[in-house]
Structure 1
Amino acid sequence: MSAWKQHTVIPGFRLSLGYTLFYVGLIILLPIAALVGETLSMSASQLWTVITDEQVLASFRLSFGTALFAASMNVVFGTLVAWVLVRYSFPAKRIFDALIDLPFALPTAVAGIALVAIYGPRGLLGEGLLAVGIKVAYTPVGVTLALIFVGFPFVVRTVQPILQAFECEIEEVSASLGASRMQTVSKVIIPQLFPALLTGFSLALARGIGEYGSVIFIAGNLPYVSEITPLLVVSRLERFDYTGATAIACSMLAFSLVILMVINGLQGRLMRRYHSHSGGVV
């Protein structure tokens, strides 16, 4: 049997494979190839000059830094929310569960306007926070809040099915062997959830790095302070600097691919280790 072809009861391998390759190539690879091709039209010195500009570097630090922090926060609190939804029953649970998906359906620009209405200088909470010296809107803090909002459902919906399939008897066995609650969580539950946590983290991170609509309203877009990289790309396009815009976008794409490849590699390594310890039985 071929290493890349498996016979199944349902025929259509060649057709489905051809459709998959065509669709992925048309929807994903072709735009990326166009982006890379436009960037390669620049010389190495021109590319280096564009991506090492202080304003561009500041936007990189803001976009990747806030995305990493927001994804990390979502892993912690998203896991807690998923645990509550799976393990406990409470009034209006279905409504609360449905609200988790709201950032998926809500237009990102609407989310940004809503965040400004809450955390802006005259917002519901922003005015009070500003009175005690805490400024949220038009700062990196506001950018982080927007990224937490749009990335939160990814973690919850990734971890939730794993928790639903998790056998409670394992926790009872751990307790019967004398393990404390913290030991059960750290030694039994977290290792089982870790691959799902990595997946949710990578999805939230990828969404945060490229997020635009929900951020521009609350960020204030101040150069060197709260200007995200996607906005910098848009501003270059508005000035008809297509080469500079594609250079920045391609650099961001390269950084994102490296981060996601590292996360996926770590996830695959953990899965192989889990299968080897469990004897290949899932």
Structure 2
Amino acid sequence: MKKNFFLLKIKNYWFWFLSFFYFAFILLLPIFSLLKIISETSFDEFFKKATEPIALSAYSITISMAFFACIFNLIFGFILAWVLVRYNFPGKKFLDIAIDLPFALPTSVAGLTLATVYSDKGWIGKILTNFGIQIVFTKLGIIIAMIFVSFPFVVRTLQPVLQEIEKELEEAAWSLGASSWNTFVKVVFPPLIPAILTGTTLAFSRAIGEYGSVVLISSNFPLKDLIASVLIFQYLEQYDYIGATVIGSVVLIISLFLLLTINFLQSWNQKYLKR
């Protein structure tokens, strides 16, 4: 008995050691390397690089485009997740599989496909051109690219939570005289809030860090439609490692602040639901 207990403790130690080693090697080491380079840069130089007009424009475009893409994904991702869980129809399995396509498809291929479809000669872009709407080489193209790569996060986060909601709770609310809307707002929606926040955060973070598809569908002109990830690559092409590191660290800080805010909102929501 003691021998088995001793072996179990050794296995637990190895489990924690390997988990910590993997976490440190994959996540902490790159972040610390980035912070080390930043620590070797003076505050004046960091502030100057981080607040250049091109950099400020890149932050603004990246965050605003990611925000619009995130709102779009939240609305239509929720609708699609609801349809997949609550309804049966021909082609449902195919649609369910197709949602994961952005996960498997290289972003450069996605960008090339989007640029081809939405260009002036593409079958969608040609129609939109007749109405004076241009997609490729504009901010609208950036939004579409961000929507494409981040769409699965909202659907796949909401789908399992919707499947776990018991239909009997809704039927009980209906039997007590609640309308379909009141049942949705007071019974169905509250348990979905943590999943909605998580999926929205993941989609937003994915959109902020997108590069491969955006670089092909936008013109990448400074102060027009240049996003932060493309700006970092342009700095690296110019061997300006300090500039690339500064922009990368600012984006990292924004992402961490966003994640901490969402975690706080989730904790607050869970405490609110327990009352």
**TM-score, structure 2 normalization:** 0.94
CA distance in 1, matches of 2:157, 2:60: 27
State the shift of 1:10 in Å: 6.0
CA distance in 2, matches of 1:176, 1:222: 59
CA distance in 2, matches of 1:175, 1:273: 24
- Mapping of 1:1-282 within 5 angstroms? 11=9, 12-274=11-273, 276-277=274-275
State the shift of 1:179 in Å: 2.0
Give structure 1 stretches of 5+ with no counterpart.
1-6, 278-282
CA distance in 1, matches of 2:183, 2:216: 43
CA distance in 2, matches of 1:69, 1:185: 25
Cα deviation 1:212-255 (Å, max 9, x = unaligned): 01111111212111111000000001110001110110111011
State the shift of 1:119 in Å: 1.1
Q: Which amino acid aligns with 2:189?
A: I
Cα deviation 1:17-74 (Å, max 9, x = unaligned): 1111111111111111111111121111111110111111111011111112211211
**TM-score, structure 1 normalization:** 0.92
CA distance in 2, matches of 1:15, 1:68: 42
State the shift of 1:180 in Å: 1.9
Give structure 2 stretches of 5+ with no counterpart.
none
Q: Which amino acid aligns with 1:64?
A: I
User: Where do 4+ consecutive residues of structure 1 move more than 3 Å?
Assistant: none
**SS in structure 1 of the partner of residue 126 of structure 2:** helix
In angstroms, what is the RMSD of aligned CA positions?
1.5
**SS in structure 2 of the partner of residue 171 of structure 1:** helix
State the shift of 1:135 in Å: 1.6
What is aligned with 1:3?
none
**SS in structure 2 of the partner of residue 186 of structure 1:** helix
Q: Which amino acid aligns with 1:134?
A: I
Q: Which amino acid aligns with 2:237?
A: E
CA distance in 2, matches of 1:99, 1:207: 19
Q: Which amino acid aligns with 1:248?
A: I
What is aligned with 1:4?
none
State the shift of 1:124 in Å: 1.2
Q: Which amino acid aligns with 1:108?
A: T
